[in-house]
Amino acid sequence: MKIADRVEAVPPSGIRRFFELAEEVDDIISLGVGEPDFSAPWAARDAAITSLEQGKTSYTANRGKRELRELIGETMEDNYDLSYDPDEQILVTAGASEALDLAFRTVIEPGDKVAVAQPCYVSYSPGVTFAGGEVCPVRTRREDEFKLTYEMLDESGAADAEALVYCYPNNPTGATMTRDELQEVATFAREHDLTVLSDEIYAGLSYEDEHTSIATLPGMRERTIVFNGFSKEYAMTGLRLGYALGPTEAITAMNRIHQYTMLSAPTTAQYAAIEALESSDDVVAEMRTQYNRRRKLVLSRFEEMGLDCFRAKGAFYAFPACPWDDGHEFAEALLEETKVAVVPGAVFGEGGEGHLRVSYATGMEDLKEALDRIEQFIE
């Protein structure tokens, strides 16, 4: 069958290749996982089960159940000062990934340049390409602790772009950005009239500074779409539930694609999410505490073994410099000799090379064992 060029043009994800390697080795301890090791809060799972028992298996409103949108609105307001109207400015989607795809298709004209802050989640660049856009990589650097700066945006040619997409707290680096640091990005976006697609899926996993959304900075609300969801903070990856917050015209347009392609986000997951928002703050806080302890343990151990690693302050990743020149070779050798999987940073785009993504979404005992093995391997 003839496959369309724009699909053929996108290579399979580099992480896929590493996944296949890891699958061939038995009994590995994986620090290569991009999702929580916890399950969704029991109350949320229980609500999902109850909804199924009650036969709640039909579609919901295109934008998602109103009750859920209201709760999302309240939570975003309470946690991040993000104020959006549940009727017109919040769209519930099948994972934040769907929301991002909708946004790409909504704001990108064929040939538009889209600045993508890298290293980043593997879907942004393909998403831009599928939508007909042209990716303009913006490389973040170890020296800046992988934060976006005005200078890097400028040097990368982002001034000609129509949109900028980034994620903080960041996957794969664990980097976060403070309000002051975001001001630079906001200034650049306003000066060059950029639409900002701000992936804040890890906002709830910020350990040192309060998370700030760029949409709360002056003049940014009207040009920003914020993405969040239940996957990371509520450990609900497989339930596929995310959402977008944005200006009415953006959400209305995104909903137009959504209503034709997805109809509505998974109903069962919406019931789980309602319960999660209503009752699971303490469970989420406990997961956050656990991640934070692991984070500190990982960073201390890296320091002790002389592995250069900046202080990652969010998500559940550390991003140490690779002791070998070639991150792929290192990760493969580590896997083969110690059965510990980490992901070479280069699969996450420019600026990732020479680094390793180490996920601490793994139980403490396994994490400690894996760190011992990494230490021995380096020696």
Partner 1 sequence: MDLSDEVVELLRENARYSVEDIARQTDSDPSEVEAVIGDLEDEGVILGYRAVVDRDKLEGETIRAVVELNVTLDRETSYDDVAERIAKFPKVEALHLVSGDFDFQMHVEGDSMSEVSNFISNKVAPVPEITQTVTHYVMTTYKEQGIEFGDGSDDDRLSVSP
Q: Give the residues lining the site for partner 1 (CB under 8 A).
A: 13, 15, 18-19, 22-23, 28, 30, 32-35, 37, 39, 121-123, 171, 293-294, 296-297, 300-301, 341, 343, 364, 368
What b-and-e string marks burial along 157-174, b requiring 16 or more CB atoms within 10 Å of the CB? Answer: ebbebbbbbbbbbbbbbb
Q: What DSSP character marks residue 165?
A: E
Tokens of 339: 């059965």
Nearer to partner 1, 119 or 137 (CB): 119
Q: What are phi and psi of 293, to 5 degrees?
A: -65, -45
Alpha carbons 132 and 126: distance in angstroms, whole number: 10
Spatial neighbors of 324 by CB under 8 A, at least 6 apart, are 330
CB of 376 to partner 1, least distance (A): 17
* Cα distances (angstroms) measured from residue 338 to each of 124, 331, 354, 357: 32, 10, 20, 17
Residue 368: CB minimum distance to partner 1, A: 7
Tokens read off for 224: 């920003």
Min. distance of Cβ 32 from partner 1 in angstroms? Answer: 4
Which uninterrupted H or E stretch holds 254? helix 248-261
Q: Residue 64: which of 100, 90, 45 has the closest Cα?
A: 90
Q: How far is the CB of 296 from partner 1 (least distance, A)?
A: 5
Q: Toward partner 1, which CB reaches closer, 66 or 339? A: 339
Q: CA 257, CA 267: separation in Å to the nearest integer? A: 19
Min CB(364)–partner 1 separation in Å: 7
Residue (71 or 356) nearer to partner 1, CB: 356
- CB-wise, 189 or 272, nearer to partner 1? 272
In sequence order, what are the residues at sequence separation of 6 or more whose Cβ sits closer than 8 angstroms to the Cβ of residue 248? 85, 88, 89
Residue (38 or 377) nearer to partner 1, CB: 38
Least Cβ distance, residue 15 to partner 1 (angstroms): 5
Give the shortest CB-355-to-partner 1 separation in angstroms. Answer: 15
Q: Judging by beta carbons within 10 Å of its beta carbon (0-12, 13-18, 19+), is residue 285 exposed, middle or buried?
A: exposed
Q: Which is nearer to partner 1, 122 or 205 (CB)?
A: 122
Rounded to whole angstroms, the Cα distance separating 368 from 200 reads: 29
Please say whether the beta carbons of 216 and 82 come within 8 A. yes
Nearer to partner 1, 28 or 253 (CB): 28
**Given the complex with partner 1, which of 271 and 348 has the nearer CB atom?**
348
Least separation in angstroms between residue 175's CB and partner 1 is 17
Residue 166: both structure tokens together? 């980034």
